[in-house]
Chains A and B, each alone.
Chain A
């Protein structure tokens, strides 16, 4: 159950939520709930973002033109708002992933310093 991991939950650093959303959308278009589920599953529930904060982020990304939204049928035949990456969004994901990798490598080097 989720509660078991509560102690291990991590606070998200500023600006990472956007990256996570972009990544979650990189395979296929998804609706909001599925995005939050995916992030939870893949991160082994270590990253649990408050579900509500997903939506302001989604709308902000949509305004920036990194993702676009359209209404479609969900797997249980309900009307749901699906988000997908745009071309700019994909470039952005690559750039941010790259930046994130370099940052983590650099931080680890500093932390491992003897």
Chain B
């Protein structure tokens, strides 16, 4: 079968691309036949001439036989297409201006979509590289009810992972997480993304170590596993120059001093949607270094769990069985932590979901924004297509004569239409080619916005994206070609031949106006979206956070296995705080327990006279030293912040947020009240001050319930630092890090992070939405303006005769100008009207993506309207001024 196919293809290939040779052979073959036949007839006694005639007669028409033989080669259709293709390319070279405009327009449209596709495909559709049979692989999420709320969580505790892995519906299960860990020691140490994986993780992939081996179950077992590391390919090359003798060497990874046992292949970059792993270490080795009792209870959910269903087992079966095991596991957890709700209330449920995080049950704003940006990219392509269809239509008008002549000469309409389609497809594919280059460049920009810190991915080396670009080109080619093709197929032959180029048919100009309006309306729609997102971003940026951002630097420590007892830890943090104050440029410093927007701590408390006070809401706890409020820039509204009187031996102090004060003591003065943090049996902490509310958990949340305790009095382990600098903290970060590092014992180290990065990270999805809508909106505006320009310019050219007549009859330049500008402006206004109507109609879909901004904000609509009107006037200004300069004598003489 396969060899048949191969010989068939070889035959057709030769017929198509060695046409001259094949034809010559056919000539030879037929001539040989005729000569032999004639020779035979001569032997029978006929004259040479008569023999040749009879031979021909017997044979049938030579040309007909040749035609039939050509048909038998099975490449007829392709031959026609090739010929049309050559014709199309000749035609495009004759009018390079139009061709370039079309290609550039499509390049922008297709490029934008290819770039978006490359990103969305990776986030939503594509399985991780090398994954074996991804159709059977799923990710497990856990869901339970808590106080009437459904809580869905993709982060799973180690012990839970073991409990669920027992399911008989699974043929494999694995757990992993990614952590930023310092690799190496001393000056050599750099923080890199490290995949913390179970040994079974590698079994999900068709991957073999480049050298050495992956770790096995023995290395990945609780409390008896090994400290081993598998290097990522990139790290192996960059740090070890790809040497083979790395096996057996020691490498410090985070707190684990590990032995290198293997090197992963380059394509095994870890799990999808995250940064490629520099190294892989066992779950157990990492967990032991972080929290030695990690496998004793269910307090630390940090793992992503993936499973492979047994062949033929549905997702429903797997989730039913996992839910059963989750319920058993929940009971085990309740035995350890009685405050967990009973099964009947908690209703624990396991969800078996697609592997890609964006398709899982935990969706967030970024997902919806990403999807809406895809819609936006598709709209940009539509605008580009409308634009190109218009350009081709105007070209079809000026080629009317040519087409009529060809029809008169006997070309079939079907052939003509297919030829026009081939022309637009050629343009579309050239556009796609340029578009892929645009995407390659543009994707770097998009990646920066959409996938911060993600792996470097290209367009040119990615077959799926290239295929997508080809499909987009096919679609664009058909969309843009179909209107002009059928319009020209409809023309009446006689009138077309008789009339000049001047008269365009009404039908055609209606089509063109409709296309133009569609462009205008869609770009208004996109620009309104851009405006709404920009306003949302402004609103988000102007949120009062309750702490300063630019001057703050967060300093945390990573002990890397250096074990300090609590007293020595507290002493170290105090030394760091003291040292920080002495660094030039540092204004203040404080120790803290948590970092806003990143970490949250809660602790139960009781208040005399109020029943179960800590159940009135989620109260977030923070701790600080003397300078805490002045360092953070959080205002004290009443009373005072911590000061030197809040010493270890003095009575406990607490500062509460305004929201907490109102919640607990609505009509009373909070100052002087007693809060027993930790429960009834604890001593009173006296409220010494009321602070403003801060955004502690999320930048757009309505957080209001917070309280602050003194670090000197509470003496917690594991405190971190905030340092307040003059000017921007980012500029002094490295200097501060170096000074503080000198105090750190052994391989432990400090990391610094400007608060600006954390706040910007929290604003990312807003920034992304605004930037993408603005980018695509402006692109749409430019395309629409070009479209308007080309139509008006074309109309002016068509009306040269009429305009010349008007001018000859005494029309003022100003009147002509007004006429042409008026035409452009009418298009603009109609586009604004339709686009605004669309935007108003679909506003409710946008609303959830906005922050304190109505989807019907009149300011945005008015601004966009003004921008588009200006663009319309600008686009028609050049043709308008050209119209006023029409020389009546020349205009009247044409044709």
Contacts and interface: CB of A to CB of B under 8 A. Distances in A.
B29 A55 contact: yes
A59 B4 contact: no
Interface stretch (B53-61, B185-193, B386-394): B53-61
B73 A51 contact: no
Contacts of A5: none
Interface residues of B, number: 31
A65 B7 contact: yes
Given A52-B65, A62-B11, A63-B12, A33 B72 contact: no
A88 interface: yes
A51 B33 contact: yes
Interface string B45-79: 00000000000001111101100110111100000
Interface residues of A, number: 27
Given A50-B60, A52-B62, A65 B73 contact: no
A53 interface: yes
A57 B73 CA distance: 10
A59 B8 CA distance: 11
Contacts of A64: 4, 8
Interface string B447-473: 000000000000000000000000000
Given A50-B60, A64-B8, A55 B69 contact: yes
Given A65-B8, A79-B28, A51 B69 contact: no
Nearest to A31: B32
Contact of B3 (A52, A65, A78): A65
B65 A59 contact: no
B33 A56 contact: no
Contacts of A32: 29, 32-33
A71 B32 CA distance: 12
Contacts, number: 80
A65 B64 CA distance: 24
A52 B12 contact: no
A50 B72 CA distance: 17
Contacts of B4: 64-65, 88
Interface in A37-93: 37, 50-53, 55-57, 59-60, 62-65, 68, 71, 74, 76, 78-81, 88
Contact of A81 (B3, B32, B69): B32
Contacts of B61: 52
Contacts of A56: 65, 68-69, 71-72
Contacts of A55: 26, 29-30, 33, 65, 68-69
A81 to B, nearest CB: 5
B37 A53 contact: no
Given A52-B64, A65-B3, A81 B29 contact: yes
B25 interface: yes
A53 B71 CA distance: 12
Nearest to B3: A65
A16 B379 CA distance: 58
A52 B35 CA distance: 14
Contacts of B64: 52
A63 B32 contact: no
Contacts of B29: 31-32, 55, 80-81
B58 A51 contact: yes
B565 to A, nearest CB: 84
Contacts of A79: 28, 32
Contacts of B8: 63-65
Nearest to A88: B4
Contacts of A51: 33, 37, 58-60
Contacts of B59: 50-52
10 contacts: A33-B37, A50-B58, A52-B59, A52-B64, A52-B68, A55-B30, A55-B65, A56-B71, A63-B8, A64-B4
| The 3 residue pairs across chains A and B that have the minimum distance between CB atoms | A52-B60, A52-B65, A65-B7
Interface of B: 3-4, 7-8, 11-12, 25-26, 28-30, 32-33, 35-37, 39-40, 58-62, 64-65, 68-69, 71-74
